[in-house]
Amino acid sequence: MPLRAPLRSRARAGAAAPIRGAAASRALAGAAALAGASCLPDERPYWVIDHTDALAMRFEVIERGPWGADPPPGGGPVVEAMPGDRVRATPFVAGPEGPVDVAALQPRWFACGVPGCTGNQLVDLAEAPPCGPIALPLAETCALGPGPAATFELGPLLDVVGAASNGVIVMMVAGTPEGPSTRECLRRADALETVSSSLRDCLLFVRTLRVGPTWRTVVAGAAMGATSPVAPDDLPWQISQIEPDVAPKIAHFAAWVPAPGGGEYFLEAQSGATLSVRTGDQIALSLIEAAPPQDYYSVSIDEATLAVSVSQIVEVRGAAWFSTTPAPFELTAGPGYEVDWRAPEEPGTHHIYVVLADNRSAATAWLRVEVAAR
């Protein structure tokens, strides 16, 4: 009976996995997975941004409650939350002309009950009651309200295993500039329960806020009278020594670009910078992290004896690349941190996006690419 919300210790490099599918069906099927999407699949490669698409959601604790974790060494946000913490969820939405102003989309936000906001039993999102402090775990879906980001408070801890395993499922629903409004997307989503309804060009994005660290949920649960198969005294002493979270963070890009007279030149670029290349140029791009990944400590409980054990596993963190052209990204090293990309054969302005994420939060960066004729 594992408490699946992990504990983490000292930072070191680790393996990683792909983090995103392109269709809403994939995003909604894995609320706890690293997934995001605009609605309905098509034949385009998943990395092509030829319409408005939600790529990532970043969580951060903006106000620490009585049980919250201290900031990690060196600063940065806390991305696992505890009862009493106030949390902000911020999406990143990409478009063919660059990052999209999320406020203009007028998104609606929901905290999903344990069954989820979608699935075999659809929730009437338009009738969802307003959220108060989010109970852990949350039984029924509630509305967090409109806005470019969602801000909410975590409420009482009722069940330690349920809270650590399920977290808080957060969903954003939004219309797009080229498609229906947010109100129409909500209407269509609600209609799915009784009639066939198209969600084309709607954004549905689901992400799970992790509750933890797990050892803190055990301690807080004991103080709050929460249901728990384990008491604080049963925890191995090592886990209380674990350092706070280190959230994914992108420092900058590094690139090798063909030089006009032959050879290549090296440059570094911040997110939002412009890269000037020529048609057909082969470009080597690298993502430079500002915060290294950490190890996990997975806490497990033997169902027969209730004995607690701790095992160390490698954090899952990876990078995914997207662009406004169909040219593929060829992985050259690491879990997506280094890629080769070929500029289009026609002059024009294009955009490259990258998402660096683990199972707690995400960081994003982007480049504008000006392609000139040879």
- Cα–Cα nearest to 21, from 5, 7, 39: 39
Indicate if the pLDDT at residue 9 is higher than 60. no
Indicate if the pLDDT at residue 63 is higher than 90. yes
Report the alpha-carbon distance of residue 68 to residue 212 in Å, rounded.
8
Structure confidence by residue, pLDDT tens digits, 200-245: 899 999 999 999 888 889 999 999 999 998 899 888 777 766 655 6
Report the alpha-carbon distance of residue 171 to residue 27 in Å, rounded.
10
List the structure tokens of 250. 């992108």
Q: What confidence category does residue 324 fall into, taking pLDDT thresholds of 50, 70 and 90? A: very high
* 93 or 305, greater pLDDT: 93
Site of tokens 């607690």: 308
Q: What confidence category does residue 3 fall into, taking pLDDT thresholds of 50, 70 and 90? A: very low
Indicate if the pLDDT at residue 346 is higher than 50. yes
Q: Supply the pLDDT for residue 247.
A: 86
> By mean pLDDT, which of 119-128, 136-145, 259-268 is the weakest?
119-128
Structure confidence by residue, pLDDT tens digits, 285-319: 999 999 776 666 666 767 677 777 777 766 678 99
Indicate if the pLDDT at residue 19 is higher than 60. no
Q: Please report, as a single letter, which amino acid is at residue 328.
A: P
Q: Supply the pLDDT for residue 21.
A: 29
Report the alpha-carbon distance of residue 202 to residue 220 in Å, rounded.
39
Say which residues have a Cβ less than 8 Å from residue 267's Cβ, sequence separation at least 6: 254, 255, 257, 275
Q: What is the pTM of this model?
A: 0.84
Residue 314, classified by CB atoms within 10 Å of its CB into exposed (0-12), middle (13-18) or buried (19+), is middle
List the structure tokens of 144. 């967090």
Question: What ranges do the domains of the chain cover?
Answer: 2-234+245-372
Q: Supply the pLDDT for residue 344.
A: 96
Q: Supply the pLDDT for residue 359.
A: 81
Indicate if the pLDDT at residue 43 is higher than 80. no
Q: What confidence category does residue 123 fall into, taking pLDDT thresholds of 50, 70 and 90? A: low
Report the alpha-carbon distance of residue 372 to residue 374 in Å, rounded.
7
The distance of Cα 293 from the centroid of its chain, to the nearest Å, equals 15
Mean pLDDT of 43-50: 90
Q: What is the largest CA-CA distance in the chain?
A: 72
Say which residues have a Cβ less than 8 Å from residue 370's Cβ, sequence separation at least 6: 274, 275, 276, 277, 349
Using DSSP's 3-state secondary structure scheme, residue 234 falls into: helix
Task: Say if CB 311 and CB 2 are below 8 A apart.
Answer: no
Task: Say if CB 185 and CB 175 are below 8 A apart.
Answer: yes
Indicate if the pLDDT at residue 50 is higher than 80. yes
Mean pLDDT of 336-340: 94
Q: Supply the pLDDT for residue 138.
A: 96
Q: Supply the pLDDT for residue 122.
A: 58
Mean pLDDT of 348-353: 98
Q: Which residues on neighbouring strands pair with residue 99, listed in sequence order?
A: 94
Task: Say if CB 177 and CB 203 are below 8 A apart.
Answer: no
Indicate if the pLDDT at residue 25 is higher than 50. no
Q: Supply the pLDDT for residue 209.
A: 96
Task: Say if CB 284 and CB 340 are below 8 A apart.
Answer: yes
Report the alpha-carbon distance of residue 18 to residue 317 in Å, rounded.
8
Mean pLDDT of 144-167: 95
Say which residues have a Cβ less than 8 Å from residue 144's Cβ, sequence separation at least 6: 109, 110, 111, 131, 150, 151, 152, 170
Indicate if the pLDDT at residue 156 is higher than 70. yes
Structure confidence by residue, pLDDT tens digits, 190-209: 776 555 567 889 999 999 99
Task: Say if CB 293 and CB 14 are below 8 A apart.
Answer: yes
